[in-house]
Structure 1
Amino acid sequence: MKTLDSIALILLIVGGLNWLLVGLFEFDLVAAIFGGQDAILSKIVYVLVGLSALYCIKLFGRIKD
């Protein structure tokens, strides 16, 4: 599971940085790299980032006070 956790974390970082760029500069890096927001590769990346976020919900159970 450690590999899957690492992949999910990397995808969340990519997604977070992309949202930072969108918020600050109205620039969607994923869309720019993969041919626009409607391009199939962009949609795949968006879906993978979303699935990674859902997967990482389990990490709340690992947080200790």
Structure 2
Amino acid sequence: MNTKMFDYIVLSFVIIGAINWGLIGFFRFDAIAAIFGGMSWISRVIYAIIGIGGIYTLTLFGRIDNDNINRER
């Protein structure tokens, strides 16, 4: 699997996490907990994956800037 595909997968998880946080903030509804149960081990794994994905997306800032510089050449 190439890096670009991995970036899209991780970005999808981060978007799902952001939508879930929006639901929690606006409606006090936790979609992950509603689907997989309160703080079951499955929901904890999903939260952990989304958290790690969020940290990984920090690397996109440097790569996006480098991609733009390389395209201008």
TM-score, normalised by the number of residues in structure 1:
0.90
Query: Aligned pair count?
Result: 63
Structure 1 or 2, whichever has the larger Rg, is: 2
Provide the residue aligned with 2:47 in structure 1. 46
Q: Supply the distance in 2 between the matched residues of 1:6 and 1:32 (Cα, whole angstroms).
A: 25
TM-score normalised according to structure 2 size: 0.81
Deviation at 1:8, TM superposition (A): 0.6
Cα displacement (A) at 1:16: 0.3
Give me the CA root mean square deviation. Answer: 1.0
Match of 1:5 in 2: 7
Unmatched tracts of structure 1, length 5 or more: none
Residue identity over aligned pairs, in percent, reads 41
Could you tell me how far apart the structure 1 residues matched to 2:50 and 2:37 are? 17
Q: Distance in 2 between matches of 1:58 and 1:43?
A: 24
What's the offset of the Cα at 1:45? 0.7
Q: Report the structure, 1 or 2, having the larger helix content.
A: 2
